[in-house]
Amino acid sequence: MDFELTQEQEAIRDAVAAVCARFDDSYWLTRDREGGFPHDFYDALARDGWLGVCTPEAYGGAGLGITEAALVMRAIAESGAGMSGASAVHINIFGLNPVAIFGTEEQKARMMRPMAEGREKACFAVTEPSTGLNTTQLKLRAVKTGDRYVVNGQKVWISTAQEADRILLLARTTPIDEVDKPARGLSLFYTHFDRSRIRVQEIEKMGRKCVDSNELFFGDFEIPEADLIGEEGRGFEYILHGMNPERVLIAAEAVGLGMLAITRAADYAKERIVFNRPIGQNQGIQHPLAKCWAELEAAWMMVLAAASRYDRGLPCGAAANAAKYLAGEAGFTACETAVMAHGGFGYAKEYHVERYLREAFIPRIAPISPQLCLSYLAERVLGLPKSY
């Protein structure tokens, strides 16, 4: 098995890094302090075609794989943009995968090209206040009325809803007590974000201020029948085809963020003089940083393995969950270690590592917790009984 990048993949990584280099530490520090979606960063990546890296060429993308997308997302996070930059474009990279697989040709042409070219922004609405990760228990209803579906209910933790033109929405079209399995009766839609029928309430949070997270309130929101993806009632099955790529990409982002943090810490340790010697000469600084590097490298190998399996059409659920778990934990530990290596200055915003630590909670928690990754591996790999 060859884990070396091809010349094309190295060129992709370097080209993305060159775009990101135009947005320096002061840019992201300002975005962290003031908020406001990073439109100029988003537009720069869109102009060079990176938002459509794994969208089929027929629909405006480059037609590459999740492996190349992972390289893009790691490069963005590792550039200094962290999760603020990665989250700004995350859904463009993989979000319409269910449309690519289950949509009609008309839907693919209408829906995918604007996203790949950066002309439209979208949000992905699954999670609800009372169900969390128990997706089969979703309560938001979409009731068929003529040639439209009328939607009422709530969603929560929906990123980029302040900016979205479109929404990828999972809703219950058949009451749960009328289906033979809880996963049945959920339908997937991709449609216009009608702000006259969707109230958006931003959630204040500890990090990634420039990429909003929100609670959504739907009141008689109408969706044309033409915006139903695939068959009614099979939406849960469809979103599963986007979950493994999402785990791979957020794992790549966690690795990028962790590598960024330990690089900054190592640079600081070379320059910071205490007791007439650089602190980086002390094994108490060296060993924790070296350990983080080793853990991040191991997680990256798992990311590449999961991405490779997905791109080759092989089962990748175990690899994707392992990659997400390992990268989330390694990225968080690396950011924490970077703060500690800076001592008191690690708590100062001007050194940036405190921002990385705040953002490191995102790939650790989302889109699923580390505990659920472990539960998946326990059940699907080790054959242990389901625990929840």
Give 372 or 132, the one with higher predicted confidence. Answer: 372
The confidence score (pLDDT) of residue 119 equals: 95
**pLDDT, tens digit, for every residue of 168-224?**
999 999 999 999 998 899 999 999 999 999 999 999 999 999 999 999 999 999 999
Which element (helix H / strand E) includes 150? strand 148-159
Cα separation, 372 vs 383, in Å, equals 15
**pLDDT, tens digit, for every residue of 246-276?**
999 999 999 999 999 999 999 999 999 999 9
Distances (CA, A) of 342 to 50, 155, 217, 275: 34, 40, 43, 15
Q: Looking at the predicted structure, is the pLDDT value of residue 12 above 80?
A: yes
Q: Which two tokens stand for residue 29?
A: 């520090």
CB 225 within 8 A of CB 143: no
Q: Closest Cα partner for 329 from 285, 267, 284, 374? A: 374
| DSSP conformational letter for 80 | I
Query: What's this model's pTM, rounded to 2 decimal places?
Result: 0.96
The confidence score (pLDDT) of residue 376 equals: 96
CB 355 within 8 A of CB 349: yes
Structural domains of the chain, ranges and CATH numbers in brackets: 7-116 (1.10.540.10), 122-232 (2.40.110.10), 237-380 (1.20.140.10)
